[in-house]
Structure 1
Amino acid sequence: MTRHVTPAIFRFRLLLGTEAGFGPGKADLLEAIHACGSIAAAGRSLGMSYKRAWQLAEELNHCFRDPLIEANKGGSGGGGAQLTPLGLDIVARFRAIEAKSATVLAKELRAFGRLVRAPDDTA
């Protein structure tokens, strides 16, 4: 019996010039910063190191015309971070692009999946 694989996830990334990209991982990080109120906590929630989360946050802030993330310095009251209005807009636009793309490509993705060997098919 031949089984077909249905692609469960359609993931893509947008190139921002020649040096940077924006994809689901960075969108996930922005959403986690929004939910956690901290870059470090957002990174932990995604299984990402503190250093990597901060590197990505800095990259995101430099790729767009204005920063996406505002970070507050730590101290006795603790630090924190939040998305700027542009950061919230970028995430919403990217998620809308993902949803629309998946809808438009659903038929082709199903057809593609019929051509992929299922993991338990024997050769």
Structure 2
Amino acid sequence: MNSNTITQILKELDFRVAGTLWIESKEGRFLGPGRVELLERISSTGSINKAAKEMGMSYKKAWEMVSSLNAQAQKPLVLTQTGGEKGGGAVVTEEAQQLIEYHRLMRERFRAFLEKESAMLTQP
């Protein structure tokens, strides 16, 4: 089947190919847009709780995501520190920064693929 066949089937609407991209294992999702955003916000705020609040997410959900990320990686991606004089906090590791960058580049390639496929829907 070629794109000419598809364009003959579709009405003349503004169709596009869309999708979301994540990395997963047998244990479930590992890294996708939401987890990347959580890591970035933890990095900027130094806190899982603050990152969760900024995202409109419960602390419990954010903690579950961090635990899942840490469990599926060879080294922890988020290090936590409890209590102390200044209270607790969280640090995103270098490995997490590398994964964030990898996911960003992967999404750029994916976006280019989606744009190419979308263009094929509009070609006669």
**Shared fold per TM-score greater than 0.5:** yes
For residues 43-100 of structure 1, what are the alpha-carbon distances to aligned partners after superposition, in whole Å with 9 as ceiling and x for unaligned?
Answer: 1111100111111111100111111001111243111111111010111101110011
What secondary structure sits across from 2:112 in the alignment?
helix
- Within the candidate set 93, 100, 113, 2:102 is matched to 93
Alpha-carbon offset, residue 41 of structure 1 = 0.6
Residue 60 of structure 1: aligned partner: 69
Instruction: Report the Cα offset of residue 32 of structure 1.
Output: 1.0
Please give the secondary structure, in 2, of the residue aligned with 1:67.
coil
> How do 1:42-61 and structure 2 match up within 5 A?
42-61=51-70
Distance 2:118 2:33 in 1: 18
Corresponding residue of 1:117: none
**Correspondence for 2:13 among 3, 12, 16:** 3
1:38, 1:81 within 8 Å by CA — same for their partners in 2?
Answer: yes
Alignment match, 1:20: 28
TM normalised by structure 2 equals: 0.79
TM-score, normalised on structure 1? 0.79
What letter is aligned with 1:20? G
Look up the match of 1:121.
none
- Could you tell me how far apart the structure 1 residues matched to 2:45 and 2:24 are? 27
Q: How many residues align?
A: 111
Report sequence identity in percent.
31
Q: What's the C-alpha RMSD, in Å, of the aligned pairs? A: 2.0
Unaligned runs of 5+ in 2: 1-10
Q: Which shifted more, 18-27 or 38-47?
A: 18-27
